Copies of this chain bind each other. A is one copy, B any other.
Amino acid sequence: METLRERKKQRTREALLRTALEMFTAQGYDDTTVDDIARAVDVSQRTFFRYFAGKEEAALALQDMTVARLLEAVRERPAHEAPMDALRQAVLEGWDTLNEVIEAVAPVEVFLRMYQVIESTPVLLAAHLRRSVEIEEALARILADREGVDLAADPRPRLTVAVFGGVMRLTERRWSGGRDHSLDALRTLAVSHLEGIGPALSESWRTH
């Protein structure tokens, strides 16, 4: 059983996060000050920064929660799958179980809306991209492990992940720039992009 103190902390953190996400999606990231959030939760601004390293961290918290799951999913993919297939399947799997991961904090709808906010807020997009670099490094390690190659000597794990990551970021961008902001549209677009890598890399497009 958790102690009262721990439960209180948990509640404060969740209140801050929920309020922050609500305000970010409602009035935009830049137009929401940390003071606003703290005031709405009725804690001091200083307390906000005791729970989150910065405003960005709160904004990206939901996306962050899905990362651990993704890495796990890749690790658990059957060994016979080609690396790129394992990555694809793991991502799709992650989206299927999205709700289980974030439901304690926010509904899937908020997760998806935060993606729009991220893509349309330069400073948030920048932070998001920087984080994906770290995720890609972790993925490369997992792939190297899975395939039994030496990450220091063999560039293929990082290369595969770089290609995959580039395509996934394109997917995020086009999805959030499009009209259909459903999870299903995201899935469809991702699969279509991943299948399109081969054709796109072929010699010329004009000979159709």
Partner of A203 from the list B82, B157, B165, B198 (CB cut-off 8 Å) is B82
Contact B200–A156 (Cβ < 8 Å)? yes
The stretch among A32-40, A62-70, A125-133 that forms the contact with chain B is A125-133
Contact B126–A159 (Cβ < 8 Å)? no
Which residues of A (116-168) have their CB < 8 Å from a CB of B? Answer: 122, 125-127, 129-130, 133, 147-149, 154-160, 162-167
Copies of this protein in the assembly total: 2
List of B residues within 8 angstroms of A129 by Cβ:
126, 129-130, 133
The stretch among A16-24, A99-107, A169-177 that forms the contact with chain B is A169-177
Partner of A166 from the list B148, B155, B167, B203 (CB cut-off 8 Å) is B167
* Nearest CB of B to A136, in Å: 8
* Nearest CB of B to A24, in Å: 18
List of B residues within 8 angstroms of A158 by Cβ:
170, 174
Q: For this complex, into which size category does the number of interface residues on chain A fall?
A: 35 or more
List of B residues within 8 angstroms of A198 by Cβ:
201
Would you call A43 an interface residue if the criterion is a C-beta within 8 Å of the partner chain's C-beta atoms?
A: no
List of B residues within 8 angstroms of A201 by Cβ:
84, 160, 163, 197-198
Partner of A163 from the list B125, B149, B167 (CB cut-off 8 Å) is B167
A197-B159 contact, Cβ under 8 Å, with A126-B129, A133-B125: yes
